[in-house]
Structure 1
């Protein structure tokens, strides 16, 4: 389990909850970046994007129920149990996870 490997607290993300995801994830663009804020109003708190660029465009992230994440990108569900404040970056055989308390301070 990813949480045990990195010494992170497990914080469930139910399949019925939504996450924000960029369309480039479904297109297979790498690297994939994920960060988790606190869940609210039916969301998991997760925001996942692909590529090196981030956009402030309000349509950059689209809502997706977690139960459909494997249709967009396989093998990412294992990261979704990380608690708010955690981030991940994956590409091919590369994996990096870290806790970033600053993203929780910005909200």
Structure 2
């Protein structure tokens, strides 16, 4: 990943006062075809990461589908070519969400996506 992207990711985490949660280029994200096609706004949410998976799910537009094939697994390294707009958010920890069209952005913590370990 380009150094400028990494710096921007760290700045986003600092802006929201959270520690970065790594997402490595060999790991996968779930992404919808409408996101890679550029449908706006771009939405993202992060579940807790698991082995080889960042926990990020990205989709475009206002419609979210429950279909089993809505999200396709893509290596994080490929997002620079297919979904660059979302890259700056991808070090936010689990539970964080974003919505952006490139000009407008909304970023928030959604506790419903944080794994609770009692």
Q: TM-score, normalised by structure 2?
A: 0.84
Match of 2:29 in 1: 19
Match of 1:9 in 2: 19
Q: What do you get for the CA RMSD once the two structures are aligned? A: 1.4
**Per the alignment, in what secondary structure is the counterpart of residue 76 of structure 1?**
helix
CA distance, structure 1, for counterparts of residue 85 and residue 37 of structure 2: 15
CA distance, structure 2, for counterparts of residue 19 and residue 73 of structure 1: 11
Q: Which runs of 5+ in 1 are unaligned?
A: none
Which is richer in helix? 2
CA distance, structure 2, for counterparts of residue 29 and residue 103 of structure 1: 24
The question of 1:91 aligning with 2:96 is answered: no
Which is richer in strand? 1
CA distance, structure 2, for counterparts of residue 95 and residue 104 of structure 1: 22
CA distance, structure 1, for counterparts of residue 78 and residue 41 of structure 2: 20
**Deviation digits for residues 64-101 of structure 1 (CA, Å, limit 9, x no counterpart):** 00000011122421111000000011013101111111
Match of 2:83 in 1: 73
CA distance, structure 2, for counterparts of residue 83 and residue 29 of structure 1: 25
The question of 1:35 aligning with 2:45 is answered: yes
Matches within 5 A, 1:44-55: 44-55=54-65
Q: TM-score, normalised by structure 1?
A: 0.92
Q: Which runs of 5+ in 2 are unaligned?
A: 1-10
